């Protein structure tokens, strides 16, 4: 589904009105090549992904954990985050491409993002590009990264990091080597984070923290409007440590107005994330009308995917809120989800 969703907005699909092609990569950790299925057997994840036309790169983190010189970071990275996730830095090695876009499994594209691609390629802002309202007034020359920030959290003292749900970068080996050097050599100060400069949040010892530390320090990185390029449908108001109203976006004052992405028309949104609304395939109806609309978008795409798939289409007779789930849910919860009707089993290596 993730790959099909990306394909919908490539030049292979004329209705998407884009002139850009794409290559879908899966960066697989060496320890994740063999996976266990629900029946206890094992299958070759690389073979599965290649059969879905992914370009698979079996790349682990660019260094070994003992190479981290900072003792606190080395000893705590797997407690706070996952060191293995540093394989994401390998996206900077995809230098045969002008632009690489990092997304999560929760990301879903609603319309083409040519404005981002064109800006990254040309070095000047494209028509329609929508920036974070707190971006500097002067647009930088030749941006090397275009990002949204994570303004959604449960902790009142949370730092707003760069989001890995939608991050556009320029692959570059010099940048890759810089990030590797920073990972090896940057001190991580307890409660103050990378370099002691305040980049500290739950999970911040992982790549999200390192990339936030580096990207926000670059004058030619550009913040995007998170309501447009990474809409979570999250309530923007929280409370501070004293229980007073506070915006999730720490740059905003609640007595002025908190930016409420729930009010952005879905037709204007280019990418959404299911973090707040829950996964569509969990078959759990949200009371939020916007979440229902987002889930229906996902199932509409699944329906289109199955119509083009060589496998038999799923019978859409599920009675659980068919107006949202289009017959793909027979009841509430993940057990009610109707999986795709593949006729071939995963390529097992052991029974």
Closest CA to 110 of 226, 288, 248, 229: 229
Quote the tokens at residue 30.
């060496």
- Phi, psi for 288 (deg, rounded to 5): -80, 120
pLDDT by residue (tens digit) across 189-214?
998 999 998 888 889 999 999 999 99
Asked if 226 and 151 count as a contact pair (C-beta separation under 8 A), the reply is yes
pLDDT at residue 125, as a whole number: 93
Which residues contact residue 252 at a Cβ distance below 8 angstroms, ignoring those fewer than 6 apart? 258, 259
pLDDT at residue 66, as a whole number: 97
- Is residue 230 helix, strand or coil? coil
pLDDT at 217 exceeding the cut of 80 = yes
pLDDT by residue (tens digit) across 145-174?
999 998 766 554 567 899 999 999 999 999
Burial profile 211-246: b = 16 or more Cβ within 10 angstroms, e = fewer: bbbbbbeeeebbbbbbbbbbbbbbebebeeeeeeeb
> Can you tell me the distance from the alpha carbon of 225 to that of 231, in angstroms, rounded to the nearest whole number?
9
pLDDT at residue 345, as a whole number: 47
pLDDT at 141 exceeding the cut of 90 = no
pLDDT at residue 251, as a whole number: 74
pLDDT by residue (tens digit) across 61-82?
999 999 999 999 999 999 999 9
Mean pLDDT of 133-140: 83
Quote the tokens at residue 169.
């970068």
How would you classify the pairing of strands 145-149 and 162-169?
antiparallel
In the block, tokens 């490539």 appear at 10
The model's confidence at residue 337, banded by pLDDT at 50, 70 and 90, is very high
- The count of other CB atoms within 10 Å of the CB of residue 203 is 14
In the block, tokens 């992914």 appear at 54
pLDDT at residue 44, as a whole number: 93
pLDDT at residue 343, as a whole number: 43
pLDDT at 21 exceeding the cut of 90 = no
Q: Is the dihedral of CA 172, 174, 178, 184 positive or negative?
A: positive
pLDDT at 350 exceeding the cut of 50 = no
């Amino acid at each position: 589904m993730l790959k099909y969703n990306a394909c919908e907005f490539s030049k292979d699909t004329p209705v998407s009105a884009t002139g850009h092609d794409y290559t879908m990569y899966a960066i697989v950790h060496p320890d994740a090549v063999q996976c266990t299925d629900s029946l206890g057997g094992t299958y070759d994840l690389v073979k599965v992904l290649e059969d879905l036309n992914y370009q698979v790169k079996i790349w682990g983190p660019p260094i070994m954990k003992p190479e981290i010189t900072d003792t606190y970071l080395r000893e705590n990275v797997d407690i706070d985050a996952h060191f293995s996730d540093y394989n994401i830095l390998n996206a900077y090695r995809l230098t045969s491409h002008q632009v690489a876009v990092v997304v999560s499994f929760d990301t879903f594209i609603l319309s083409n993002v040519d404005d981002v691609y064109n800006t990254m390629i040309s070095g000047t802002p494209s028509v329609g590009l929508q920036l974070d309202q707190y971006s500097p007034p002067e647009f930088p020359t030749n941006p090397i990264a275009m990002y949204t920030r994570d303004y959604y959290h449960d902790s009142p003292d949370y730092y707003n990091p760069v989001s890995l749900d939608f991050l556009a970068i320029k692959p570059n080996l010099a940048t890759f080597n810089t990030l590797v050097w920073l990972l090896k050599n940057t001190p991580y100060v307890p409660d103050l984070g990378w370099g002691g400069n305040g980049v500290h949040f739950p999970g911040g010892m992982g790549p999200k923290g390192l990339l936030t530390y580096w990207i926000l320090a670059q004058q030619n990185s550009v913040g995007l409007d998170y309501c447009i390029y990474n809409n979570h449908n999250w309530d923007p108001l929280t409370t501070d440590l004293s229980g007073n109203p506070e915006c999730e976006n720490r740059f905003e004052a609640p007595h002025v107005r908190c930016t409420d992405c729930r009010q952005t028309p879905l037709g204007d949104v280019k990418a959404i994330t299911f973090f707040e609304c829950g996964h569509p395939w969990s078959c759990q109806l949200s009371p939020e009308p916007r979440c229902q609309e987002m889930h229906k978008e996902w199932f509409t795409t699944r329906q289109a995917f199955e119509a083009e798939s060589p496998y038999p289409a799923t019978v859409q007779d599920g009675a659980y809120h068919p107006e949202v789930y289009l017959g793909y849910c027979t009841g509430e919860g993940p057990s009610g989800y109707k999986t795709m009707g593949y006729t071939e089993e995963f390529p097992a290596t052991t029974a």
